Every structure is written in structure tokens, then in C-alpha cells.
Amino acid sequence: MFQSLVGLPGVVLACVSYGLVLGMQESTYRAVVTDIVPLGRRGSAYGFFNAILGVGTFVSGVAFGYMLDASVSPLLMLGFVVVAQVTAVALLLCAKLEKREQ
């Protein structure tokens, strides 16, 4: 099943998927920063957010590059993505709950 995704079609599918996910999440990220951070600190918050986003993108690229070089199972890679997303959602919910308590 996954062999058909190797090569140019796989690269195109990955790029399209990445673009769709980034497009959907980008506005959500910015809205959440607005909800969590007070007006006077939003510039710094967006700068910090974008720096962490860049570092995270780099780290995930290295991790997936390693997984591809090591011929890791696509299902294991999918599991890695699911765990990372669940962790991100949990951290976001913690931040929102902390904001409500203040």
C-alpha cells in the first residue's frame, strides 16, 4: 500500500498535505495566541511563537529524515505524528486553563 507513495507522487502528496494542514492551523495558532496573551505582550508572544515554530519544524524535519533513512515503518511515523499532536493539544488546553484561572 505505501509503496505506491514512493517517488514523485509521494512528494507531491506530502507537500499538498503539509500545505493544507499549515493553512488550516495558521489562523488557529494566531487566534489562540491572541486569546492567551495580553495586548501589551502580543508582539513578543508572536515572536516567541514563531521562533518555537521554526525550531519545531527543523526538529521534525530531522526526525522524519532520520526515520526515512532508517526505513522506519510508515505506521510508526504516523504514530509519532499522532503522539506529537495529542501532546500539542494537551499543552494548549493547559495554557488555556491556566489563563482562565488568572
pTM of the model: 0.63
- Which whole number is the average pLDDT over 28-54? 88
Average pLDDT over residues 4-19: 80
**Count of domains for the chain:** 1
Contact in structure between 5 and 13 (CB atoms under 8 Å): yes
Residue type, 83: V
Domain that holds residue 68: 2-101
The least confident of 25-34, 64-73, 82-91 is 25-34
pLDDT of res. 26: 81
> Which residues does 33 contact at the CB level (< 8 Å), separation at least 6?
42, 45, 46, 49
Write out the H or E segment, with its range, that includes residue 15.
helix 8-36
Q: Among 14-18, 32-36, 82-86, which stretch is predicted with the lowest mean pLDDT? A: 32-36
